[in-house]
A and B are shown apart, each in its own frame.
Chain A
């Protein structure tokens, strides 16, 4: 099975302070740690597991600047065979439609049975690239996938619905799947492993190499036009408990006894 996995470099913002650019055009990136999008890590692992079980190859692709190369190398260290980086000034600040155009062009250059993406990206969280890409390619898709089992010319997948309910689907190959967290346990990547793939060449594909015209990927191809970022409105907020840990603990216990019915 030939598998392409789309991956993205994103900042870790759950644990960090996020500071806006004064003009609201973006966030300050200097103090943030970047890495592979959490969902994409699971997607790469799933592709490698499929390769290990059924043979084939795994290629990872990203649309992004040279800073994204670390993420691709990490995927190679996990066991991906090839990596490609799509980069062209005309992509600009790509929305999911433009990313999907770029990835569709990469797919068109290969013979992939399966394209995997993450269910969503941790920064802007659209959850769009996978199904939009499938739409551009005219291939079947399934989102929020929690298991993948090849079945001849088809693939059986489970999709996560809600409240612990899942559905099982059978899709014709080639297909596009978006991978949900928890589908597997992504392998650990050691520094040694990354060192081993340090010299591996990562081709850079620009718009011309992909046969993409500005109308496909430039500003006029964007469907979601960014109008600026702002801090969330202050709104309602919690009453803060202060003091030493022991003092805070006593306050919490008082609340739990009074309102939580704790004995």
Chain B
């Protein structure tokens, strides 16, 4: 049976949910296309992680060695090349995160396997791999196939598949030796840098008013802050607002910012990119105001308003009274 290999994303002893989303996709492909799922755990002191994965998939391949303690594409690609040669999987998956983005395009070149990144759908069509991607600001779907090859790589957007539950039963865990690395290695991991704790904590806020690029200018931020104050809400934002230094980084919601879970989230001038939406998954009611009726955020919101956000902000201030 052709194999499907999930490359497990983990850091500092924790497996990311993104990996368990891939398990769901793997099970679907096992049902529809007869692929046989397995997981690859590459790292150091990863026994517990391998055991966890064994509760989800029938086979886990482990390479455990000291130089693999911190993820680097250079060492991980060497290990995975070795695994791909031995296992010859038809399809190898990783999440489309800082991990998958760093590793898979490079592994594609080094293993000679074509790769599609940021897929929201993956299907097997006979000997071919067909993928669906979201393009042009989430407004269009694109379908592509990978050039015929013995094996394919794909990275999958987070949230495209639900997180899997345990399979019940324990899969086999197989250790593989660590291959020799090219010497000298040309990349070195020096450490992690955590964001400093600050005064604002959007993650605990029960009510959030969030502004996106639609706020247009730094001069308009005080208006948004005044509205948030009036409603008793905390002001948050999408990434471009932080990139432009209009608001502090700790107010950014999304994959590279904070995860929030307010009872209500009022999004003003935010398009609904998946990196932003991933940060508000746990929220209660989502109200989106956007002047573009085709903005993807309306596909996720509970309530939508197609209108100029500044008109709505003014009206909200007026109607909320003093």
A interface residues (Cβ-Cβ under 8 A, vs B)? 11, 13-15, 17-18, 20, 27, 96-97, 119, 122-128, 130-132, 134-136, 140-144, 156, 158-172, 175, 181-182, 185, 222-233, 235-241, 244-246, 248-253, 255-256, 259-263
B322 within 8 A of A: no
With both chains docked as a complex, state the minimum distance between the C-beta of A88 and any C-beta of chain B, in angstroms: 20
B74 within 8 A of A: yes
Task: Report yes or no: B117 in contact with A126, Cβ–Cβ below 8 A.
Answer: yes
Q: Which residues of A contact B229 (CB under 8 A)?
A: none
Question: A228–B132 Cα gap in the complex (Å)?
Answer: 10
B170 within 8 A of A: no
Task: Report yes or no: B257 in contact with A164, Cβ–Cβ below 8 A.
Answer: yes
Task: Report yes or no: B292 in contact with A169, Cβ–Cβ below 8 A.
Answer: no
With both chains docked as a complex, state the minimum distance between the C-beta of A241 and any C-beta of chain B, in angstroms: 5
Task: Report yes or no: B144 in contact with A224, Cβ–Cβ below 8 A.
Answer: yes
Contact A237-B304, Cβ < 8 Å, known A168-B190, A227-B144? yes
Q: Which residues of A contact B258 (CB under 8 A)?
A: 163-164
Question: A161–B259 Cα gap in the complex (Å)?
Answer: 14
B interface residues (Cβ-Cβ under 8 A, vs A)? 11, 70, 72-74, 96-98, 101-102, 105-106, 108-110, 114-118, 130, 133-147, 186-195, 206-207, 213, 231-233, 239-240, 242-245, 249-250, 255-259, 262-264, 266, 271, 284-285, 287-288, 292, 294, 296, 298-307, 311-312, 314-316, 318-320
Contact A245-B118, Cβ < 8 Å, known A144-B102, A167-B193? no
Task: Report yes or no: B193 in contact with A224, Cβ–Cβ below 8 A.
Answer: no
From the candidates A252, A253, A259, name the one contacting B284 in the complex (CB within 8 A): A259
From the candidates B96, B118, B240, B288, name the one contacting A238 in the complex (CB within 8 A): B288
From the candidates A140, A233, A249, A262, name the one contacting B312 in the complex (CB within 8 A): A249
Task: Report yes or no: B256 in contact with A171, Cβ–Cβ below 8 A.
Answer: no
Q: Which residues of B contact A171 (CB under 8 A)?
A: 186-188
Task: Report yes or no: B315 in contact with A143, Cβ–Cβ below 8 A.
Answer: no
* Known A124-B135, A227-B145; further 18 A-B contacts with Cβ < 8 A: A27-B140, A124-B136, A127-B118, A143-B98, A144-B101, A162-B98, A162-B255, A171-B187, A181-B239, A223-B114, A224-B144, A227-B130, A241-B304, A252-B266, A252-B316, A255-B303, A256-B266, A263-B232
With both chains docked as a complex, state the minimum distance between the C-beta of A217 and any C-beta of chain B, in angstroms: 14
From the candidates A136, A181, A228, name the one contacting B243 in the complex (CB within 8 A): A181
Task: Report yes or no: B140 in contact with A259, Cβ–Cβ below 8 A.
Answer: no
Chain A CB count within 10 A is highest, among B96, B98, B143, B240, for: B98
Q: Which residues of B contact A127 (CB under 8 A)?
A: 96, 101, 105, 117-118
Task: Report yes or no: B186 in contact with A126, Cβ–Cβ below 8 A.
Answer: no
Contact A229-B256, Cβ < 8 Å, known A143-B101, A252-B316, A259-B264? no
Contact A158-B73, Cβ < 8 Å, known A144-B102, A224-B144, A229-B142? no
Contact A128-B315, Cβ < 8 Å, known A27-B140, A164-B249, A262-B231? no
Question: A252–B287 Cα gap in the complex (Å)?
Answer: 8
Task: Report yes or no: B147 in contact with A142, Cβ–Cβ below 8 A.
Answer: no
Task: Report yes or no: B105 in contact with A132, Cβ–Cβ below 8 A.
Answer: yes
Q: Which residues of B contact A20 (CB under 8 A)?
A: 140
Contact A255-B285, Cβ < 8 Å, known A27-B136, A165-B194, A167-B191? yes
Contact A160-B98, Cβ < 8 Å, known A224-B144, A262-B264? yes
Q: Which residues of A contact B191 (CB under 8 A)?
A: 167-168
Task: Report yes or no: B190 in contact with A124, Cβ–Cβ below 8 A.
Answer: no
With both chains docked as a complex, state the minimum distance between the C-beta of A156 and any C-beta of chain B, in angstroms: 7
Contact A18-B294, Cβ < 8 Å, known A162-B97, A164-B194? yes
Task: Report yes or no: B213 in contact with A14, Cβ–Cβ below 8 A.
Answer: yes
Task: Report yes or no: B115 in contact with A223, Cβ–Cβ below 8 A.
Answer: yes
Question: A229–B142 Cα gap in the complex (Å)?
Answer: 4
Q: Which residue from chain B places its CB closest to the CB of A260 in the assembled complex?
A: B264
Q: Which residue from chain B places its CB closest to the CB of A226 in the assembled complex?
A: B144
Task: Report yes or no: A132 in contact with B304, Cβ–Cβ below 8 A.
Answer: no
Task: Report yes or no: A128 in contact with B73, Cβ–Cβ below 8 A.
Answer: no
Q: Which residue from chain A places its CB closest to the CB of B114 in the assembled complex?
A: A223
Q: Which residues of A contact B304 (CB under 8 A)?
A: 237-241
Q: Which residue from chain B places its CB closest to the CB of A128 in the assembled complex?
A: B105
Task: Report yes or no: A159 in contact with B98, Cβ–Cβ below 8 A.
Answer: yes
Question: A5–B248 Cα gap in the complex (Å)?
Answer: 29
Question: A250–B305 Cα gap in the complex (Å)?
Answer: 12
Task: Report yes or no: B140 in contact with A240, Cβ–Cβ below 8 A.
Answer: no
27 contacts between A and B (CB under 8 A): A13-B137, A18-B140, A124-B133, A124-B142, A127-B105, A135-B110, A140-B186, A143-B102, A167-B193, A170-B188, A171-B187, A223-B115, A224-B144, A226-B142, A229-B140, A236-B299, A239-B303, A240-B305, A248-B305, A249-B318, A249-B319, A252-B303, A253-B320, A255-B264, A260-B207, A260-B262, A261-B207
With both chains docked as a complex, state the minimum distance between the C-beta of A28 and any C-beta of chain B, in angstroms: 11
Task: Report yes or no: B320 in contact with A232, Cβ–Cβ below 8 A.
Answer: no
Task: Report yes or no: A169 in contact with B315, Cβ–Cβ below 8 A.
Answer: no
Q: Which residues of A contact B145 (CB under 8 A)?
A: 225, 227
Task: Report yes or no: A135 in contact with B319, Cβ–Cβ below 8 A.
Answer: no
